[in-house]
Structure 1
Amino acid sequence: MERKSFQAVILMRLIMNKRKTYPLYFAAPAFIIFIILFLFPNLISFYYSFTIWDLKNAVWCGLDNYKMFLTDPGLMLSIKNTLIYAVTTCGLKVIVGFIIAVFLTSGLRTKNLLRSIVFFATLISSVAVGIMFKAMLHPTKGIVNTFLQLFSIQGTDWLGNTGTALGSVIFADVWKGLGIAVVIFIAGIQSIDRTYYESASLDGASKIQIVKDIMIPLSKSARNSVIILSFISGIRSFELIWSMTKGGPGFATDVLGSVVYKEYSSGYYGLSTTGNVIMLIFVMCLAFPLQKFLNKNEEV
């Protein structure tokens, strides 16, 4: 009997160990993909950022690339533009996206059609959106200035003026990315228990009070998701800006992504790789604390 009980204990331990290791088989493919497509390229980029290379030969240069990149006169302006771009696009997507989502979760009969129309811009590539807005904002042939002339308003060179170029690109980015924000907000609002609305109606709450006291607090998870996604997208922005202004006029719309691309196109591969590493560190230093702060507030 003792021998049988001992064998049973050993068998149970083997079964428990198999149960513990069994989920690892499911995680292994994702872990392998993560190593191949993310970890390994980042380690290689980190190495090449300390070298001068021409895609064939690499010569170690230490921190010279970092010193040269950080002393570039256009870098500080590009960092400033990147922060302005990321914060502004993020804020507008959150505010405008929530307002549209509230409107599209009401009892409107055509709300499904309007949801499709709002989401349509997300399906268009960033380059196509950039080309479209570049044509619309043309100083003489663009539809925007042509429309303003109907009201005797003199338009400006929206993309050629240093005072309006960055704002014009921001508007185009918000137009394109608003669909994702609206969809996330709609999902967050629709996940709210209907009993909250019923209780508010019985208490005689107005629509504004329902939005303020129910929708805004209880859709916090959706709002946090929109903030994180929009902010990271703003920091990593490149395609839309390049297709509209190429960082101009001058350096008015230069962001980190466009500065890195200019270094690549000029043949400074080691220096441009340094820029990519700096941009990765920049994203991590801003996005991770922001996500931690939002998650902390969500739990409160």
Structure 2
Amino acid sequence: MVTSVTPSQTRTTGPRGDAGAGRPTRKQARSGGARNLRARTYSYWFYAPAAVIYGLIFLVPTVIAFYYSLTRWTLFDSEFIGLDNFRQFFSEQSLVSGLKNTLIYAVLTSGLKVVLGMLFAVLLTGPIRSRGLLRSVVFFPVLVSTVAVGITFSVLLQPDFGLVATVLSKVGITSPDWLGDPSLALLSVALVDVWKGVGLATLIYIAGILAIPKDYYEAVDVDGGNAWTKFRNITLPLARPATFTVILLSLIGGLRSFDLIWTMTGGGPGFSSDVIASVIYKQYQAGFYGLATAGNVVLFVMVSLIIFPLFRYFNSKEVES
């Protein structure tokens, strides 16, 4: 005769027939939890070197800058004056034009780098000859010193004897004063910035496009799609992480740009190409160190208010996709 046993009657027995012997005891559970906690604690120590470097290079100088922005200081002493530096900084006429020029410069250079970087990347990942050489040519300006680029283009854009003026005169066009005309100075510097920085944007896009599986493009070929279909339905959406990276890097660089602008125009003519960074530098030159430090804090806050929301938005879009 076979005796049937219901599931409720079954139980796990150990060597001595004790029920539940297969489960860990309370002591064993506590011991395992302690080991896991020690393992997690040890893993946190790997972050310590990076945290120390980050604190020394970024956190400590930032805290010091916030303090000294509230003082009138020199190399030998300081006097706490509260928010007077910020009130004076925002009352400067040059700040209003500098803030506006900074936003125009950042948006213009970032937008052009995104568009041109994507187009160059699509071209340089396609079936063309000498792709390696062309990639090197596009990327080369990134390696050149910004000051050297600024000095070179300051000469090339001269309205009397510059190379651009000479070429335009050959076709009967009078060259405008690229760097001396208030309406063209900022635009001219922005275009030079794009020429210098588009190589990095192109490199990022090339990496993003090459990471796209070839199967997607082959499927479009089977369906009879053309190059535009591939770009619109595959390259553009799947290269979105690269686009986000280029936008963030180029925006940060545009908002903080100083050396190229100062080399080519010095912020002139007048205040027409002044940005916040050049305004800050002029305050340092004049010996108003506290005022210049307050300007640095303003620039830091402005960059943070623009970049961090964009970063969170882009991250949310990547998660959704």
What TM-score do you get using the length of structure 1 for normalisation?
A: 0.96
2: distance between equivalents of 1:21 and 1:136?
A: 60
Task: Verify: 1:185 aligned to 2:228, yes or no.
Answer: no
Task: Check whether the contact 1:55–1:269 (CA below 8 A) recurs between aligned residues.
Answer: no
SS at match of 1:52: strand
Larger Rg: 2
From 162, 165, 169, the equivalent of 2:189 is 169
Gaps of 5+ in 2: 1-20
The number of equivalent residue pairs is: 299
Task: Check whether the contact 1:105–1:190 (CA below 8 A) recurs between aligned residues.
Answer: yes
Amino acid at match of 2:226: S
From 76, 79, 100, the equivalent of 2:99 is 79
Amino acid at match of 1:127: V
Amino acid at match of 1:215: T
1: distance between equivalents of 2:252 and 2:316?
A: 19
Structure having greater relative contact order (Cα 8 Å, sep ≥ 6): 1
Deviation per CA, 1:110-141, whole angstroms, max 9, x where unpaired?
Answer: 11110111111100121111111111111212
From 45, 48, 71, the equivalent of 2:68 is 48
Specify the alignment match of 1:38 in structure 2. Answer: 58
Specify the alignment match of 1:283 in structure 2. Answer: 303
Amino acid at match of 1:132: T
From 81, 86, 106, the equivalent of 1:61 is 81
Offset of residue 9 of structure 1: 4.8
Offset of residue 10 of structure 1: 5.2
SS at match of 1:59: strand
2: distance between equivalents of 1:238 and 1:131?
A: 14
Specify the alignment match of 1:89 in structure 2. Answer: 109
2: distance between equivalents of 1:112 and 1:134?
A: 30
2: distance between equivalents of 1:36 and 1:16?
A: 31
Specify the alignment match of 2:154 in structure 1. Answer: 134
- Higher helix residue share: 1
Task: Check whether the contact 1:78–1:255 (CA below 8 A) recurs between aligned residues.
Answer: yes
What TM-score do you get using the length of structure 2 for normalisation?
A: 0.90
Offset of residue 108 of structure 1: 1.1
Gaps of 5+ in 1: none
Offset of residue 104 of structure 1: 0.3
What percent of counterpart residues are identical?
46
Offset of residue 294 of structure 1: 2.2
Specify the alignment match of 1:22 in structure 2. Answer: 42
SS at match of 1:171: helix
Deviation per CA, 1:115-173, whole angstroms, max 9, x where unpaired?
Answer: 11111110012111111111111121210001111111111111011111111100110
Task: Verify: 1:240 aligned to 2:260, yes or no.
Answer: yes
Specify the alignment match of 1:201 in structure 2. Answer: 221
Task: Verify: 1:149 aligned to 2:169, yes or no.
Answer: yes
Specify the alignment match of 1:100 in structure 2. Answer: 120
Amino acid at match of 1:200: V
Give RMSD over aligned pairs. Answer: 1.6
2: distance between equivalents of 1:33 and 1:183?
A: 28
Amino acid at match of 1:212: R
Q: How does 1:260-279 map to 2 (within 5 A)?
A: 260-279=280-299
